[in-house]
Structures are given as structure tokens and as C-alpha cells.
Structure 1
């Protein structure tokens, strides 16, 4: 079953990779493996990756964080992954003051904050999945995608999955949650309700097995694994 995967990069990083030694992830290899585990006849046809560029002024390692992201995206592109960029938006706002865990938040006690939000990613993913589904009717049978897989735990994607299930009933829909084993997380029921199958965790062994080599050849200079990764 020819499969196209759509990956929320923010969800992938913070749900699966942050704080680990496995950030230099060979994403196409991992996804191909998971698809085969789900069903031996599954094959990976394409990977689309959606992210926003790091803002060095707000990153924990400044410009090094941006350079690390750039290197990883170059490695993904060299392996045939399509990368689509959203954007970050920084706005001032207010939020309830944190006193301690035993004191509830109150709108009567707020402080000024900066809010950093990722914009456009969900819309890009939803439109890309729907467009690909709509294009299948005009393609030769051997070229058609039979399955779309979302790699995200974001329930904002629920309306997109619902529309795909209703409008393209012959398409199979899967969801891979970017969750590490050993960390208890709530399963997003709305995504599960509108998919044919769901993978709940990615194991540490799978992450360790599916890593890029330290230097990934590209059309220009190699993409090199960041030292601190």
C-alpha cells in the first residue's frame, strides 16, 4: 500500500526527540519501518515535513540552535523529504501569575509575557493532505497513494482527518503519535476516531536504530550532525 506521510516537525521534536540523543533521526527510515510493522505490504512513497525556522534570539543555544535545525533539514531534503515552512509569531500578552502548584491560576492576578506561537503549520498539513487525496482520481492506478499517515498528536488536525474519511472513503488514514516509550501521555481520542489505525509510541530501540550517519551527503557540502546532538 503506497503511503504518504505528513510530519508536524514541532510535535515530532518536542514529543519524541527533545532531551534525547536521537535528534539526528533518519525520519524516512523510521517511518518506512513503522509502516512495515503495521502491515508488511505498506511502502513509503513520500514524506512531507512541516516546521518553522528557529529564532536564534529566543533559542536556548542562540545561533547554534538555528544552525542545528538547518543542518537537519538539509539532511532530510537530501533523503527526498519535502520541507514546508510556517512561521513563528511573537506577541506581548498577559497570563496568570504562577505562585505555586497549590495555588490556582487567577485572571485577577496576571503578569505581562511574551507569547511565541507557531503559525500556519496545521493549515499547511491539512491542505497538503487534502490536495494529495484529491489528485488521486486523475492518476494511473499504479501511481496512486492508497494511504495517508499523519505524524502528530495535535487534535487541531481532527477536522482534516474527518473530511478525508468522509470525502475519500477508499483512502486509508493512519496516525503515528510522536510519543516516546516510558512517558505516560493521553491518547488523542478525536484523532483515533477518524483514523483506521494509530501507533501510540516509538520505542527507544527504534530511535537508536534509525539515525543518520554523522555526515549526510547533499548536492553541496555535507549536512553534519551538530556536536551537541
Structure 2
């Protein structure tokens, strides 16, 4: 079954890779593995990876975080992954002051904050999945993508899956949650409702077995695994 994967990079990083030794993830290898486990007839025919650039001023390691992201993106592109960039927007705002977990938030206790928001990614993923489905109608049946897999736990993608399920009933839909083994997270039921199948957890062994080599050749200079990864 010819499959195209659409990956929310922000969701992938913070749901699966942050605070782990597996950031140098060989994404094509991992996704091909998961698809084969789900159904040996599945074949990976493309990955679209959506993310936004790191803002060094707000990153834990400053400019080094930006360089690490840039290096990883070069490695992904070298392996045939399509990378599509959104943007981060920072604005001032107000939010309820945190006192402790036993004290509920209150509008009377607000503080000034900086709000960092990722822009364009969700809509870009949704439109890209739908456009791909539309384009398949113009292709001979033997060349069509037969399955779209979303790699995200973001329930904002529910309307996109619902539309695909309604408008293209012959298209199979899957969801891979970027949830690491041993980290308790809520399963997004609205995504599951509109998918034919869902992978709930990615194991540590799978992550360890699907890492890039230290040096990834590219068309220009090689991409080397960041030291602190």
C-alpha cells in the first residue's frame, strides 16, 4: 500500500524526542519500520516534515539549538524528506499567575508574559494532505497514494482527517502518535475516531535502532550529529 507521511515536527520533538538521547532520529527508517509492522504490504512513498525555525533568544542552548535544528534538517533532506518551514511568532500578553497545582487559575491573578506561538504549521499540514488526496484522482490507479499517515497528537488536525475520510472513502488513514514509551500521555480520541488505525507508542528500542550515523552525507558539507545530542 503506497503511503505518504505528514509529520508535525514540533509535535514530534516535544512529544517523542525532547529530554531523550534519540534526537538524531532517522525518520524515514523509523516510519518505514512502523508502517511495515502495521501491515507488511505498506510501502513508504514520501515524507513531508513541517516545522518552524528555533528562536535562539528563547532556546535552552541559544544559537547552538538553532545550529542543531539546521543540521538535522539538512540530514532529513539528504534522505529525501520534504521539509516545509513555518514560523514562530512572539507577542506580549497576559496569563493567570501560577501559584501551585492545588490553586486553580484566576483572572484576578494575571501577569504579563511573552507568548511564543508556532504559525502556519497546522493549516499547512491539513491543506497539504487534502491537496495530495485531490491530486491522486488525476493519476492512474497503479500510481496513486493509497494511504496517508499523520504523525501528530494534535487534535487541531481532526477536521482535516474528518474531511479526508468523508471525501475520499477509498483512501486509508493512519495516525502515529509521537509518544515515547514510559511517558504517560492522553490518547487524542478525536484523531482515533477518523483514522483506520493508530499507533499509540514508539518504544525506546525502536528509537535506538533508527538513528542516523554520526555523519550523514549531503550534496554540500556532511551533516554531523550535534555534540550535545
Q: TM-score, normalised by structure 2?
A: 0.99
Match of 1:119 in 2: 119
In the other structure, the counterpart of 1:90 is 90
Q: Structure 2: give runs of 5+ residues left out of the alignment.
A: none
In structure 2, the residue matched to 1:181 is 181
1:159 corresponds to: 159
- State the distance in 2 between where 1:164 and 1:102 align: 42
Q: 2:221 maps to what in 1? A: 221
Looking at structure 2, the residues matched to 119 and 223 of structure 1 have their Cα atoms a distance apart, in angstroms, of: 27
Moved over 6 A (4+): none
Distance in 1, Cα, partners of 2:151 & 2:101: 32
Structure 2 distance, partners of 1:44, 1:21, is 26
2:44 corresponds in structure 1 to: 44
- Which residue does the alignment assign to 1:8? 8
The CA deviation at 1:100 is 1.6
Q: 2:204 aligns to what? A: 204
DSSP-derived class of the 2:137 partner? helix
Report SS of the residue matched to 1:117.
strand
Cα separation, 1, equivalents of 2:200 and 2:100:
32
Q: Distance in 1 between matches of 2:120 and 2:198?
A: 25
CA apart distance, 1:175 = 0.1
Shift of 1:143: 1.4
| Partner-residue secondary structure (3-state), 2:181 | coil
The residue number in structure 2 matching 1:106 is 106
User: Corresponding residue for 1:60?
Assistant: 60
Q: Which runs of 5+ in 1 are unaligned?
A: none
Give the drift of 1:142.
2.1
Q: Which residue of 2 aligns with 1:72?
A: 72
Aligned residue-pair number: 229
Q: Distance in 1 between matches of 2:171 and 2:137?
A: 11
Residues 178-217 of structure 1, C-alpha deviation per residue, up to 9 Å, x if partnerless? 0011111111000000000000000000000000001100
> How far off its partner does 1:101 sit?
1.7
- Give the whole-Å Cα distance in 2 for the aligned partners of 1:18 and 1:174: 24
Instruction: Describe the SS at the equivalent of 1:159.
Output: helix
Cα distance in 2 between the residues matched to 1:55 and 1:17: 18
Question: Is the partner of 1:50 in helix, strand or coil?
Answer: strand
